[in-house]
Structure 1
Amino acid sequence: MYKKLLILIVPFVIGTALTGSKPQSDEILWDKWGIPHIYASTDNNLYYMMGWAQMHNHGNLMLKLYGEGRAKSGEYWGENIERDKLLHQLGVLAASRRSFAQLPQKEKNVLIAFANGINAYAQKNLNELEEKFKVVLPVKPEDILQHTFRVFYLEFLVNRNIRKANNWTPGSNGWAINGSKTASGNSMLMANPHLNWNDFWLFFEARLISGTNDLYGTTLVGLPTIGIGFNKNLGWTHTVNTLDNVDLYELTLKNGQYQLDNKFHDFTIDSLLITEKTETGSREIVVVRKQSEFGMVVKEGENKAIAMKWPNSDGKLNIIGQWLAMGEAQTLGQFQEALKMNGLPLFNVIYSDKENNILYHFGGNAPKKNGDWGKWQNIVSSTSSDDLWQGYYSSKEVPSYLNPKSGWIQNANDPPYTSTIPAAISPKDYPSHMAPNAMGFRPQRSALLIKDAENLSLDEFIALKHDTKSEYFLRLKEDLSKIDPSELDSLTKKALEILLSWDGAFEASSTGPVLFSMFAKELGSKGVFAEEWDFNDPLNTPAKLKNLPYVISSLKIAAAKHQDVYGFLAVSYGEVYRLEVGKHSFGANGGAGSLGIFRTMNFSPKGNGQFFAAHGETYVCATEFGDEITAKALMSYGNATQPGNPHVGDQLELFSKKKLRKVWLKREDQLKNLEKHEKFSSMQ
């Protein structure tokens, strides 16, 4: 069966011609940053080589992820049996299988070709792969969709709601500006997702070139289609949106049934056996699946149960197809048609194109339901069919707008209503459960950076993006200056002097950020300001310290803790907060989004008072849509994880210097910066 899977090739054609002529040959030009520029005469060959290329850079990780997506971690490696159980119990695995069966042939062909490329690479390079992961081979087309469902539904949505994910907060920034704000008169786009720097969160950067398409961008490792990208006419990025499409219900039970309206109903129940590897052999575990109209049961007591509802459990929505359609689109109209598919479970879409259009779209499967936002942030105790979802809002019904008068769009995971100012849409025009109405300090910083910028070159656009100042600190600073130093002890007085002389920037050489981070932690997140955030004044509120004695007390505690850990107050940020990937190590810049820092980085403890980057700035791409596309990009942690690959962490130094690399879109530039040339014939 393995050999049959390798040779299965189904020709198909997608998209609208861009290049004007077919590539001269089927090949991969690997540039010196480990980015594959894949030239293909057919789309089948294109996705075959995409699978090959991802295995080249991430072989062990790919096989691990597909094994996990099968819910076989316990069986293969004796690990994470609880996740295996959850994938079955919630119906995520079953939904992915239903989805694969319903996929149009075009999308199935993409998955088939991608799996063939993965398996071909594995067969030719078995010695590069860790022995424990070879049990996953051969990879099947269904595995790719199972992995997709695991990442989007279990990790992005379900775990975010039941708090099972560790050390993860959803994040991303995005900007789109039109020619009114640029020196060239061209629109520009800034893609800037924030995810963990490991495992299934990692991105893979690639260029896909065929006779029918030419697409540059990135996707999550293990997926075949570009998820954030641009072609010669348009581009888009995603940010994680404030979409509530996972809900928990408390059910009322009686005699093994659950109440719905005035009747008690049977659950739909089935069970299956899964295997867990043990030190002495293996054991079988029974997983029971109980389904109600309110969703799948995740916890059960004698008289009550908790059920979870999540989108696309019937597998009818088409993630792969929507990203294909978005990448194939050559006009605004075609792109909007792709958005109508509503196949992606979440994400804002921020768009720019060659015709100077910019667009914001609150994407994802937004369920129609009763009640306001607050109701659905808690477990909903219900026996009423009035609380059941009534389908999803269409792409026309969710917050969306085109070409705002401001000339700019931003999103930093804030609700849709503050994505440009003055607001282009109003929360009054949408159901209250669609999204909250708020704006944190990071999106405020984002808007303040871009709203008054004019005459921007691409490099100036990029420089704005690299801002590291804390909007939270800047909002505090004026009131901090009103503190009378004569009333402070010597250590607290010194701490205040350091903060007041600091510009608020989280740079490696800065001596204020470590102290301020401790101070902000002591202050807490609520009750600091007398004036609350106001939609009518979104960039200047909250404001004015409410309780100055409390602020002074918090500073005193923070200064003492800082002194105890580091021995002195003026410690450099880069000495404490580090960027470390593979053999590469540099002082960090950027910091927590909760502090209002647009250059978002989150860190994990390293010991001895030090921290290392674990989440935040991942892929950055700035694109200008002129007669010829110009783009600069960076993959913070490098474009590879495979041991021995030179591109593990090789872009980290650029990150530390706040620089992006030129994206080589011309073949002549790719050849000048060529690391490796692979012919398709050598991949079979």
Structure 2
Amino acid sequence: MSVLSVRLKAAVTALVVVTAGAAVPAPAFGVERDRGYSALIRRASYGVPHITAGTFADLGFGVGFAQAEDNICVIAENTVTVSGERSRWFGAADANVRSDLFHRKAIDERVAERLLEGPRDGVRSPSGDVRDQVRGFVAGYNHFLRRTGVQNLTDPACRGKGWVRPMTETDVWRTTWASMVRAGSRSLLDGIVAAAPPAAAKTVETVEVPDAAAVVASLDGAGSGIGSNAYGLGAQATGNGSGMVLANPHFPWQGSERFYRMHLRVPGRYDVEGASLIGDPIIEIGHNRTLAWSHTVSTARRFVWYRLSLVPGDPTSYYVDGVPERMRSRAVTVETGAGPVSRTFYDTRYGPMVVVPGTFDWTAATAYAITDVNATNNRALDGWLRMGQARDVRQLKAVLDRHQFLPWVNVIAADARGEALYGDHSVVPRVTADLAAACIPASFQPLYAAGGQAVLDGSRSDCALTRAPGAAVPGILGPSELPVRFRDDYVTNSNDSHWLANPAAPLEGFPRILGRERAQRSLRTRLGIDQVEQRLAGTDGLPGRGFTTARLWDVTFGNRVYGAELVRDDLVALCRRQPTATTTNGVTLDLTAACDALAGFNLRVDLDSRGAHLFTEFALAGGIRFADAFVVTDAVRTPRRLDTDNPGVRTALADAVQKLDGIPLDAAWGDIHTDSRGDRRIPIHGGRGEAGVFNVITNALVPGVGYPQVTHGSSFVMAVELGPHGPSGRQILTYSQSTNPNSPWYADQTLLYSGKGWDTVKYTEEQITADPNLRTYRITATGGD
């Protein structure tokens, strides 16, 4: 058996071409057919599909076909993952085996199938519209695969591979469930797989003690590897008095969490432009004619712990109200290239057992289970569908109240009337102040106060999560218990909590599990607010006051390094006073060249910025240490002075210089900060959030080389204005539409991003038909095709 370690870290075939390069009127579709599908696809510049269909099933068909054209390998690999077959096809490495065991357990328990049971009202189970769209998506994907053939795929990543197979609707529902639990049980996947009673843990496997900080950190619960910025701008902030939205999610540049741009339309029922994650049939960030929205990763926790008091001599039984209760066990086996691997999982009335050695251990007396409130979230696709049908932020709020579906994100929106909305209206365990006081043991109260992680007493039934008034399902905070703010000036979020969505109207008094209030904000949050306030005052060096989409684009890609704005001058002065320092590993360095490089740094991460990498590594080494205190009444401006008396500041600078050995300290950012497309290295602007950069780009340092490959950061960026003549503005998908190196849309938007360029919003017929690169075709499939 493999060692199960706990590392809690987280040419188009079969087309009937209608016309090319010219507009085609929207088709007049009839009622949905029992057999067969039809959709019109208009490919605009950068390969963005505008898909029109007469039913949601036909719309899904068009989406599945288009996404398969561009990203079939991504979808196929994700299907392998949620089918629990990674170790069969991609090798029996521990990570693959653990993933397979986790997903096979869900398959054996029929999790996806059970989420489809119940009335099709979009709350208790998915609606008919959403089921139709999923069914159509599967048909479209399979139609492309069948007509093209695995051997003829143009993407070498999966051409001719045995793991590329037709999809089923169950595959899509499994993928959706995996997305829902990303910040919950999936983030604890390794701990769930490794959980075993004490005797079994010694005899069945070796458990490696992890860095448990990822799970029990004092910070709040925003997911690692993902983040975002967003602005909702109201009438008082825009040039024409209508609403405007900036969408700037920071997501992976590779893998299944890439976004995909598209415009979907069912005449009279649905008309939305924006982006979804690859493999999802519905738009998750975007706009319709009068409403636009985005999401940012929320700080709220998605699960609670339950401490179990075990029955003496039986570590798989626990007490509830003094009565013993046995855990449910399930043996799961996965097939690997090295033979079968089996594991026994344990579940309780609260949910699966989890271990985090050294923090949440399974001993003879005590063990821990979790309740993941997204594990039964089957409402998300309906929620996003209905969001796209809302006409303004008040209707959007009604959708949020009814469906309560956002798994781990905030929503930021604005409408054509000039009203903006912020809400952490996500799925959050219902840990009220009263429940926390009564049910979190004293030893775990500091953990809850510091990081919002609730460890409840599992020996008492009255510590179970209860149903809130108006809540969509039991166990989650209800609409009236969640922070929401309407404004006519602006709202914003950059992955801090709800507290300062607008500093003029702080959101306070909400359950601690949602995030910290009256506490220091990140540098990125502070910069995000500062950018809006300067733009409204006209003090940012750009023309005029207030926002147009052009000014919003300029602000987003202004690439200010807020940490450097605050401390660079003090750092240079310190460096010149004391030009030598010792690294963490005891090497004494001359910092004279570093002093000069920092002095010449223009405080931005533009392609021509010099010294940006030195300040970045200084920040990553923990060098930004403040001398002054955070002031709750001046939260955007404090703290702001470098603690030059702290020896850790000079050590961090020395560590940065040592780490950059072999790279000129005054190198231009664009020469060393790139992304690869084949043999081409594309210069990439933007930088690390830890340094206080708004336009986040995370790119790991390769010693002596630079930063050659972006891992995550700004992805789908949209600056949209909801004017009287319809939406307009700018947008881009930074890593481009396709993962296929043989696609014309593999690098085009990345090159565009490199030059701070953009594609225009194309929503109205006039905007679409004006595109000089428009190519139109219809795809059809009969029932037997």
State the TM-score, normalized to the length of structure 1: 0.88
2:165 corresponds, among 125, 132, 137, to 137
8 A contact 1:491–1:559 mirrored in 2: no
Q: Which amino acid aligns with 2:51?
A: I
Contiguous gaps of at least 5 residues in structure 2? 1-24, 31-37, 118-124, 192-211, 216-222, 356-361, 437-444, 467-474, 536-544, 581-588
Q: Which amino acid aligns with 2:617?
A: M
Measured in 1, the distance between the counterparts of 2:29 and 2:546 equals 37
8 A contact 1:491–1:560 mirrored in 2: no
Change (3 A) 1:70 1:564: closer
Counterpart check, 1:448 vs 2:530: yes
Change (3 A) 1:264 1:580: farther
Counterpart check, 1:640 vs 2:738: yes
User: Could you tell me which residue of structure 2 aligns to residue 274 of structure 1?
Assistant: 333
User: Could you tell me which residue of structure 2 aligns to residue 8 of structure 1?
Assistant: none
Measured in 1, the distance between the counterparts of 2:661 and 2:679 equals 31
Counterpart check, 1:656 vs 2:754: yes
1:319 corresponds, among 380, 405, 415, to 380
Change (3 A) 1:487 1:296: closer
Q: By how many angstroms is 1:399 displaced?
A: 0.3
8 A contact 1:417–1:424 mirrored in 2: yes
User: Could you tell me which residue of structure 2 aligns to residue 96 of structure 1?
Assistant: 112
In the TM superposition, 1:58-69 aligns within 5 A as: 58-69=71-82
Counterpart check, 1:497 vs 2:520: no
Measured in 2, the distance between the counterparts of 1:632 and 1:105 equals 34
Measured in 2, the distance between the counterparts of 1:559 and 1:367 equals 41
Measured in 1, the distance between the counterparts of 2:712 and 2:381 equals 26
User: Could you tell me which residue of structure 1 aligns to residue 290 of structure 2?
Assistant: 233
Q: By how many angstroms is 1:240 displaced?
A: 0.3
Measured in 2, the distance between the counterparts of 1:663 and 1:657 equals 18
User: Could you tell me which residue of structure 1 aligns to residue 700 of structure 2?
Assistant: 604
Change (3 A) 1:26 1:196: closer
CA RMSD of aligned residues (A): 2.9
Measured in 2, the distance between the counterparts of 1:387 and 1:91 equals 30
Measured in 2, the distance between the counterparts of 1:316 and 1:152 equals 7
8 A contact 1:65–1:200 mirrored in 2: yes
1:620 corresponds, among 710, 717, 724, to 717
8 A contact 1:29–1:674 mirrored in 2: no
1:393 corresponds, among 463, 474, 477, to 477
Measured in 2, the distance between the counterparts of 1:93 and 1:116 equals 26
Q: By how many angstroms is 1:531 displaced?
A: 2.5
2:571 corresponds, among 480, 503, 506, to 480
Measured in 2, the distance between the counterparts of 1:494 and 1:342 equals 55
Measured in 2, the distance between the counterparts of 1:92 and 1:244 equals 27
Measured in 1, the distance between the counterparts of 2:739 and 2:553 equals 27
Change (3 A) 1:491 1:423: farther
Q: What percent identity do the matched residue pairs reach?
A: 20
Q: By how many angstroms is 1:115 displaced?
A: 1.0
Q: By how many angstroms is 1:344 displaced?
A: 2.2
Q: By how many angstroms is 1:640 displaced?
A: 0.9
Measured in 2, the distance between the counterparts of 1:216 and 1:230 equals 6
Measured in 2, the distance between the counterparts of 1:643 and 1:267 equals 53
User: Could you tell me which residue of structure 2 aligns to residue 148 of structure 1?
Assistant: 176
Measured in 1, the distance between the counterparts of 2:577 and 2:83 equals 65
1:308 corresponds, among 350, 360, 370, to 370
Measured in 1, the distance between the counterparts of 2:308 and 2:714 equals 41
Measured in 1, the distance between the counterparts of 2:572 and 2:453 equals 41
Change (3 A) 1:132 1:367: farther
Q: Which amino acid aligns with 1:420?
A: N
Q: By how many angstroms is 1:424 displaced?
A: 4.0
User: Could you tell me which residue of structure 2 aligns to residue 209 of structure 1?
Assistant: 265
User: Could you tell me which residue of structure 2 aligns to residue 630 of structure 1?
Assistant: 728
Deviates more, 1:373-382 or 1:637-646: 373-382
2:514 corresponds, among 423, 426, 434, to 434
Q: By how many angstroms is 1:84 displaced?
A: 1.5
SS in 2 for 1:654: helix
SS in 2 for 1:207: strand
8 A contact 1:591–1:602 mirrored in 2: yes
SS in 1 for 2:263: strand
In the TM superposition, 1:181-260 aligns within 5 A as: 181-211=237-267, 212-254=269-311, 255-260=314-319
Residues 40-74 of structure 1, C-alpha deviation per residue, up to 9 Å, x if partnerless? 12222111111111111111111111121122223
Measured in 1, the distance between the counterparts of 2:411 and 2:417 equals 18
Measured in 2, the distance between the counterparts of 1:603 and 1:264 equals 53
Q: Which amino acid aligns with 1:36?
A: P
Contiguous gaps of at least 5 residues in structure 1? 1-18
SS in 1 for 2:661: helix
Q: By how many angstroms is 1:78 displaced?
A: 4.0
User: Could you tell me which residue of structure 1 aligns to residue 354 of structure 2?
Assistant: 298
State the TM-score, normalized to the length of structure 2: 0.77
In the TM superposition, 1:394-409 aligns within 5 A as: 394-403=478-487, 407-409=489-491
Q: Which amino acid aligns with 1:197?
A: W
Measured in 1, the distance between the counterparts of 2:182 and 2:621 equals 33
Tell me how many residue pairs correspond in the alignment.
654
Measured in 2, the distance between the counterparts of 1:56 and 1:20 equals 22
Residues 248-299 of structure 1, C-alpha deviation per residue, up to 9 Å, x if partnerless? 44433231344345525333424244332325xx42x334332213320134
Counterpart check, 1:51 vs 2:84: no
8 A contact 1:177–1:189 mirrored in 2: yes
Q: Which amino acid aligns with 1:432?
A: R
8 A contact 2:251–2:712 mirrored in 1: yes
Q: By how many angstroms is 1:468 displaced?
A: 1.2
8 A contact 1:23–1:210 mirrored in 2: no
Deviates more, 1:666-675 or 1:107-116: 666-675
Measured in 2, the distance between the counterparts of 1:271 and 1:574 equals 53
Measured in 2, the distance between the counterparts of 1:507 and 1:93 equals 51
